Amino acid sequence: MATPLPSLITLTLLLALPLTLALSMGIGWRYRAGVRRLMRLAPLPSEAIGVDSGDTPCAARRQPARVPPIRRERPLVLSLGALSLLVGFTSATLFLLVHFGSLAPLRLLILSLVMATPGLVLQVQILRWPFPRQLLALGGWGLALLLLVRLSSAASGEEQAGLVVPQLLGPLIVLGLLFGIPRLRAIAPFLLPPVVLLVLLAVLGQQLLAALVAQGPGGVLGVLLALVGAWGTLLLFTVLPIAIALLPAHALTAALGRLYRAKAFSDLSYLFGASWFLILLLQVLPGWNALAGGGDPLDPRPLLPMLAWLWIPLFFAGGWRRSAAPAVTEPPTLLVLRVFRRSGPVGWLFDHVVQRWRAVGPVLLISAADLASRTIEPDELVSFLEGRLRDRYILEAEDLHRQLAAIDASPDHDGRYRVTDFCCYASSWKQTLDALLDRASSVLMDLRGFQARNQGCLYELGRISQASHLSAVVLLTDDQTDRAAAEHALQTRPDCPPVQWVEAPRPRVAGVDLLLDRLLASGR
């Protein structure tokens, strides 16, 4: 007997999620290793790499307009919360109409809040809230829902918990694995669709094999058993569908990369949309399985609650653009420098400070293994999987000028700016640094763990001291920073940009606003 379609989809998701995580870990490791290997090479360019400083001297440039991140973050956070409530209300309405045929107001209210609960889980994951704050928000929401269900229902405590707790724990586990692991956050969500396609074809291959077995040992199955044996037949029906699906899976991944580069969607809108699609699918599968077991397995009515997902593209394509704060004419550009080989500390800096800066302006940085798997974009992921990582590396002057011209200084449709990383060889990073300094308005340099032996950082500090056009330079230090060596490298001059030393705060989250305030203070 053939497995019902809802059960096939459930099985596919159960297999695809761990496989996606495993592949993401492997790809992330290989990508970081590739970046680490290439950045150590020093091939000589055929001509000297020059830097075009533009027609206006750096010192004469106009200070860019600056808007504190909170003024742009708060409307987005509130709007995403309202969007989740709207999706939950719509899906609950359709669910009740399909399965009960009526809309009792109290039942609709409770079910709307319950079905919107995964949106809260999703929001705190995407916006990178600190873990204690996540637990507090999710725990408070869950207790409030349980209290509401208890006051309005005669059901037992176990039944009430069975309604609310799965809506918290299920998405928390799934979305936590997809978005909660920092080194996989930029890879796993974009890898999930092609992996689902591959797994679905493999599952269908097994279904076809089961159907042939049910017909008896004769026919096609008998021929295959005679040629390759039982294990060979099993392998054939598993591997062949995957091989057939490789081409469309690659095409799907490449299409996502092109659409992202063309700004058809942003990382935030993709993560929000893809995650809510997965959430809604997981929510309708139990009801779909129940109806499939008692009637027509192809009955589309159980899928109607998924129409609530359409609010998300409508929101990002139209509503948010009209309600978001207008983009400034010349947004401030942040250049992020750091001591390499300290992935943990700089990872926190990127996840919180840099990500929040994206609300006010673009971010530039030189790629290295410490942040490589956090900054990789969909089209760059495709290039790496195709073996074209070296194409991103700057060798000739033409490479540098082409990548500088491609810097995107306009916001995505969610109002956030993008991070642009530059891949350099050991023979080209200094010229790239000069070019990025010329285009930056502020510099955040992570000097935690810096010692006099870090010659690259000494060079960067010297170049910073000569960049008189910079409106703010913030140097983050800790008790292991050789501040004397850093101060000596700065070569203080009358026209040196304003430099502010900030001791790394503990707890770390407390220092996010401090760092952003220091970076933006001179422009207010």
Nearest-5° Cα angle at 442, 465 to 131 = 125
* % of the chain exceeding 90 in pLDDT: 26
The predicted structure's pLDDT at residue 319: 53
CA nearest neighbour of 9 among 281, 280, 207: 281
For CA atoms 164, 167, 173, 179, give the dihedral sign. Answer: negative
Q: Do 315 and 344 contact (CB within 8 A), yes or no?
A: no
The predicted structure's pLDDT at residue 445: 94
The amino acid sitting at 276 is W
Q: What is the mean pLDDT of residues 360-387?
A: 90
- Separation of alpha carbons 368 and 393, rounded Å: 12
The predicted structure's pLDDT at residue 415: 84
Q: What six digits make up the tokens of 402? A: 């082409």
Q: What is the mean pLDDT of residues 232-257?
A: 84
Cα radius of gyration rounded to whole Å, the chain = 27
pLDDT of 515 > 90? The answer is: no
- Separation of alpha carbons 444 and 357, rounded Å: 11
The interaxial angle of helices 219-261 and 378-385, nearest 10 deg, is: 130
Q: What share of the chain is helix, strand, coil (3-state, %, to 5)?
A: 65, 5, 25
- Residue 484 binned pLDDT confidence (cut-offs 50, 70, 90): very high
> Which are the contacts of 55, defined by CB distance < 8 A and separation ≥ 6?
none
The predicted structure's pLDDT at residue 419: 93
Q: What is the mean pLDDT of residues 139-147?
A: 79
The amino acid sitting at 381 is L
pLDDT of 320 > 60? The answer is: no
Neighbours of 183 (CB within 10 A): 19
| DSSP states along 151-168 | HH--S-HHHHHHHHHHHH
Q: What is the mean pLDDT of residues 490-507?
A: 78
* % of the chain exceeding 70 in pLDDT: 80
Q: What is the mean pLDDT of residues 221-244?
A: 76
Could you report the per-residue pLDDT of 145-186, keeping only the tens digit for each? 777 777 766 555 555 555 556 656 666 677 777 777 778 888
Q: Do 346 and 374 contact (CB within 8 A), yes or no?
A: no
The predicted structure's pLDDT at residue 113: 85
pLDDT of 400 > 90? The answer is: yes
Q: What is the mean pLDDT of residues 423-430?
A: 92
Could you report the per-residue pLDDT of 255-294, keeping only the tens digit for each? 989 999 988 888 888 988 988 898 888 888 877 776 655 5
Three-state secondary structure along 282-343? HHHHHHHHHHHHHCCCCCCHHHHHHHHHHHHHHHHHHHHHHHCCCCCCCCCCEEEEECCCCH
Question: Which residues sit opposite 256 in a β-bridge?
Answer: none
Q: What is the mean pLDDT of residues 331-355?
A: 82
**Which residue is listed with tokens 């507090």?**
136
DSSP β-ladder status, 334-338 and 442-446:
parallel
Nearest-5° Cα angle at 371, 369 to 375 = 120
* Average predicted confidence (pLDDT) for the chain: 81
- Separation of alpha carbons 409 and 440, rounded Å: 11
pLDDT of 16 > 80? The answer is: yes
Within 58-191, strands assigned E span none
The predicted structure's pLDDT at residue 440: 93
